[in-house]
């Protein structure tokens, strides 16, 4: 088992959308970048949402800046956990991030998108009241492990963000 620690949020005072993953995978933790695994479709989905076709090819800091320009913040539901490999199903001893504190500080957030089942289940477990206070959506995971959803289908589901940009 490896002890995993999430990153700081990528957010600013203009953010209206908060995308919450569960915990960065091994590749992301190694590179200290959200969604760093080359087969994760997150940046390709965001390229469509943000109307920036080559977003996934940009430098990491530029990627984050494009999201912030489009009022999109990133963080994770979990602060710490233990996990073997990258699969969410292997997470144990989980501790949540202080999402309530973040939302109190960044009050423009209107939409919370939970990237995958684990992110949603953690959010529901630790923050059930927030499900009624915000527009919250369980989104299909952009992880390569979610082979059921091809890129075009992921984009169709994730397009609901456009109404908040």
Catalytic, 104? Answer no
Q: What is the DSSP string of 22-89?
A: SS--HHHHHHT-TT-STT--HHHHHHHHTT-TTGGGS-HHHHHHHHHHTTEEEEESEEEEEESSS-GG
Chain Cα centroid distance, residue 152: 18
Q: Cα separation of 19 and 164, whole Å?
A: 12
Catalytic residues: 40
């Amino acid at each position: 088992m490896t002890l995993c620690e999430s990153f700081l949020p990528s957010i600013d005072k203009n953010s209206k959308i908060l995308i919450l993953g569960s915990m960065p995978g091994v590749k992301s933790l190694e590179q200290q970048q959200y969604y760093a695994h080359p087969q994760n479709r997150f940046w390709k989905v965001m390229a469509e949402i943000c109307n920036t076709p080559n977003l996934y090819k940009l430098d990491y800091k530029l990627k984050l800046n494009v999201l912030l320009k489009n009022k999109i913040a990133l963080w994770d539901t979990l602060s710490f956990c233990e996990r073997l490999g990258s699969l969410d199903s292997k997470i144990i001893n989980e501790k949540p991030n202080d999402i309530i504190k973040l939302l109190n500080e960044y009050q423009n957030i209107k939409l919370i998108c939970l990237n995958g089942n684990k992110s949603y289940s953690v959010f529901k477990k630790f923050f059930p009241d927030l499900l009624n206070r915000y527009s919250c959506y369980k989104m299909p995971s952009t992880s390569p492990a979610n082979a059921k959803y091809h890129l075009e289908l992921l984009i169709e589901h994730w397009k609901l963000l456009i109404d908040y940009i």
